Amino acid sequence: MSLTLAHAATAPAQSTQVFILPLGITVLPQAAATDLPEAARTYVAAALADKQPFVALNHFSHQHYFVVLEEKRTPDLQLEALRKAGHQLHAALKKEKTAEVFVHNLSDNPAAALTLAEGLFLSAYEFEGYKTDEKSRTPAALTRISLVGDAASAAQVTELQHVLEGVAFARDLVNAPVNKLNALQLAERLSEAGDAAGYSTDILDLAKIESLRMGGLLAVNLGSPEPPTFSILEWKPENAQNEHPYVLVGKGVVYDTGGLSLKPTPNSMDMMKCDMAGGAAVGGTLYALAKNKVPLHVIGLVPATDNRPGGLAYVPGDVLTMFSGLTVEVKNTDAEGRLLLADALSFAKKYQPELVIDLATLTGAAVRAIGTEASAVMGTAAPDTTAQLLAAAHRTHERLVEFPLWDDYADHMKSDIADLSNLGKAEAGHISAAKFLERFIEGTPWLHLDIAGPAYLTAPESYRGKGGTGTGVRLLYEFLTKQLA
């Protein structure tokens, strides 16, 4: 994206400006009215008296916009209203073909301007795509969002820029089709992002994966004409505050046909380029952490392949020996994501991590349970760790719903001939999938995020847009940076 967040001491005259106003205001503050003629002040005052949360004032050469803080049940929901106001603002700026906007915070919420800018930036995201007509290739008019004075510090603006670049990077990866982003190309894109941001990348090829005996990843890859990859991303600054690393694991199925257990095409296989959204989120998070030089040691693991029914594709009834040594009976080749993740989770244990978090578009059951509005979370981390992640989820509005991981659910994954089956019962599929993963990360604090619902949207939704949303990047960045002493 060619959109820049900046800090400005003042806003020039005759420039497009946005003023964030306090909750319940009915009189226009002098700081927002300095350049307005009497008729304009009267118009805005009438709109405020009418309790309009968004007011536009067109001077033809430039515009003024007024965003009023809304009363919500929680401070987090008030911030979310500001992100949505950023989306509304983007529509107005796009209509006027505005190139730069200056944002003032006249409210008593110090995070207001940054949050509005966040919603505006995310709304402005457009996937570059592959259209060739001139209109489609014309860049967006908006190129700069400047936060004025004490609306935010220059350091805060830069930090937010890098986080949102991480989200845009993740969205780009999710939106790319498999013929433009196979497993090797995904690994290369993650490596290029590391070069730009400062994290290191080690890409394990087929020979190395075979030598490690990652039976899950290798089995899923059997039907593909292209080899798998296993990317290890590492951000380890000299001033890292944690003795043991945080490890993030992201599912990297670059396309999922379902394998021999073939998916139906409409509203299913046709959008399965998004099945690597977990891996994309890991890449976006590492990018943001490294770019902002966050003093934490964080490792990202992204096992990647496509899942196809060709060649020597694995079949229902096969028994796999995993990296951990456990055996798995394949009941359904469309339950492939857990096989990749199982190998990666076992591999993660060698780092003796402080905490492992995996992200995956894993089950339709999670979507049926909570829709696209949230992700499911389960795991074995300490309750206070889970509570911190849930709090970060509310602050970023990448909300999580915690589900139980009771021992009873282990029965769902029993096999008559192997240690585990890769498919559970029809009920509670997102929980039994997590219970399967738990066997491969025993003894290590772990949280599993099933992001199948919000990772990819088939219709536009406010600042989350349409297509890849970059779910997980803002959440994990918020959570991890709050772990600093």
Which of 72, 144, 263, 331 is labelled catalytic? 263
Q: Where are the beta strands (DSSP E) in 98-143?
A: 100-105
The per-residue pLDDT for 206 is 98
Q: Looking up tokens 């399965």, which residue turns up?
A: 272
Q: How many CB atoms lie within 10 A of CB 72?
A: 14
Residue 138 phi, psi dihedral angles, 5° rounding: -75, 125
User: In which element (H, E) is residue 20 found?
Assistant: strand 17-21
C-alpha 401: how far from its chain's center?
Answer: 16
Nearest to 320 by CA among 442, 221, 446, 438: 221
In terms of Cβ atoms closer than 10 Å to its own Cβ (0-12, 13-18, 19+), residue 138 is exposed
The per-residue pLDDT for 35 is 79
Query: What digits encode the pLDDT tens for the residues 58-73?
Result: 999 999 999 999 999 9
Query: What digits encode the pLDDT tens for the residues 101-147?
Result: 999 999 999 999 999 999 999 999 999 999 999 888 889 999 999 99
Nearest to 376 by CA among 363, 395, 392: 363
Give dist(CA 310, CA 222) in Å, integer.
Answer: 8
Q: For 15-19, 27-31, 262-266, 446-450, which range has the lowest pLDDT when averaged over its residues?
A: 27-31
Nearest to 301 by CA among 201, 198, 193, 163: 201
Query: What digits encode the pLDDT tens for the residues 43-56?
Result: 999 999 999 999 99
Helix (H, G, I), strand (E, B) or coil at 337: helix
The per-residue pLDDT for 1 is 67
**One-letter identity of residue 307:** N
Residue 345's pLDDT band, with cuts at 50, 70 and 90, is very high
Which of 338, 395, 439, 474 is labelled catalytic? 338
Q: Looking up tokens 């999710």, which residue turns up?
A: 174
Nearest to 278 by CA among 345, 330, 223: 345
Query: What digits encode the pLDDT tens for the residues 443-459?
Result: 999 999 999 999 999 99
Query: What digits encode the pLDDT tens for the residues 76-94?
Result: 999 999 999 999 999 999 9
The region, left, alpha or beta by phi > 0 then psi within -120 to 50, assigned to residue 352 is left
Q: What percent of the chain has pLDDT over 90?
A: 94
Give dist(CA 70, CA 89) in Å, integer.
Answer: 15
Helix (H, G, I), strand (E, B) or coil at 38: helix
Stretch 399-404: mean pLDDT: 98
The per-residue pLDDT for 134 is 85
The per-residue pLDDT for 485 is 65
Give dist(CA 178, CA 274) in Å, integer.
Answer: 9
338 is an active site residue:
yes
Query: What digits encode the pLDDT tens for the residues 174-232?
Result: 999 999 999 999 999 999 999 999 999 999 999 999 999 999 999 999 999 999 999 99
Give CA separation, 212 vs 186, 188, 205, 304, 419, in Å. Answer: 21, 21, 11, 15, 20
Round the average pLDDT of the chain to a whole number and report it. Answer: 97
